[in-house]
Amino acid sequence: MRNRFTLFTLQVLVAVVLIAIWHFGSTMKVNIPALSPKPFYPLDPFFFSTPLAVFERTFKDFYTGVIWYHLGITLLETMLAFAIGALGGVLVGFWFARKAVIAAVFDPYVKMANALPRVVLAPIFALWLGLGIWSKVALGVTLVFFIVFFNVYQGVKEVSPTLLANARMLGMSERQLMRNVFWPSALTWMFSSLHTAVGFALVGAVVGEYLGSAAGLGYRIHQAEGVFDVTGVFSGMLVLSIFVIIIDTLVSAIENRLLVWRPAPAAQA
């Protein structure tokens, strides 16, 4: 896009149009005798709520401060899941990439574990770790670990042979190779998966909360659903999306800081 302002305007326009459709669909009755004898709402507010009600609820949640506690819980779970999962993924990824035998032995089990839909683990974790934050953290870890693990594994394996030969010819010992070649290479790959990994950490936390907890955004959404409070569900989703966008922006900022040496991706049209 040549003009950032034009882009931004168009992006806002999409939101405005969608919200307008939602607003008028849920507040203005139409009369189409062919479909229904009585005038009716195209988007029934019982099922769809209305944008104003959703914004009002969201504002009230923030204003009264109820939501902060739940946001804090979800954020804590996300960060713990990410930190533990990423650390495990980096360590195991490194280990497997440097020891081909271990990687070969564990290969079918890694594939098996990764193929398992994580949602089915949630009740198990709740059973083992209780309904507090740790069962949600565990769920997030199982998601984050594999993403980071595969990327680090790949990163260490795919160090350019020329670069490696050069490093050896420059006199690097095994430890110096680790620090100067394998580690930075693995880090690049880890960062390329950072957005996905953080996203999955959040998914783990919210799904865990949804399936059984006493706090967090997932819990709030689940509670609202239980009483057919559609406004509450939409409000929860709105808060969740704002939360994701903020986290994603932060991740981008960190990434740009740490990977200054990387060539800029091809300019976007």
Partner 1 sequence: MAQACAVGLRDISIAFPGASRAASPFVAVQGVNLDLVDGEFVAIVGPTGCGKSTLLNAAAGLLKPASGTVTIHGKALAGLNRAAGYLFQAEALFPWKTALDNVAIGLEVAGTDTDEARARARKWLARVGLAAFADRYPHQLSGGQRKRVGLAQVLIRDPKILLMDEPFGPLDAQTRQIMGNLLLDLWSQDRKAVMFVTHDLEEAISLADRVVIMGAGPASRIIGQWRVPIPRPRDIDVRLEPAFHHLHREIWAALKDEVVKGYRQSEVAS
Which residues are at the interface with partner 1 (CB under 8 A)? 160, 162-163, 165-173, 176, 180-181, 184, 188, 260-263
**What φ, ψ does residue 30 adopt, rounded to 5°?**
-120, 155
Least distance from partner 1 to the Cβ atom of residue 152, Å? 15
Minimal distance in Å, beta carbon 239 to partner 1? 38
Region at 201 (left for phi over 0; alpha for psi -120 to 50; beta for the rest): alpha
Minimum Å gap between C-beta 28 and partner 1 is 56
Question: What's the alpha-carbon Rg for the chain, to the nearest Å?
Answer: 24
Partners of residue 40 on adjacent β-strands: 30
Q: Which residues of 205-216 are buried (b: 16+ CB within 10 A; e: fewer)?
A: bbbbbbbbbebb
C-alpha to C-alpha distance for 242 and 73, rounded to whole angstroms: 16
CB of 254 to partner 1, least distance (A): 16
Query: Left (φ > 0), alpha (ψ -120 to 50) or beta: where does 54 sit?
Result: alpha
Which residue reads 């360590």 in tokens? 91
Residue 138: CB atoms within 10 Å = 24
Q: Smallest distance, Å, CB 94 to partner 1?
A: 17
* Cβ-contact 185, 261 below 8 angstroms: no
Rounded-to-integer distance, Cα 72 and Cα 217, Å: 9
| Closest distance to partner 1 from the beta carbon of 244 (Å) | 29
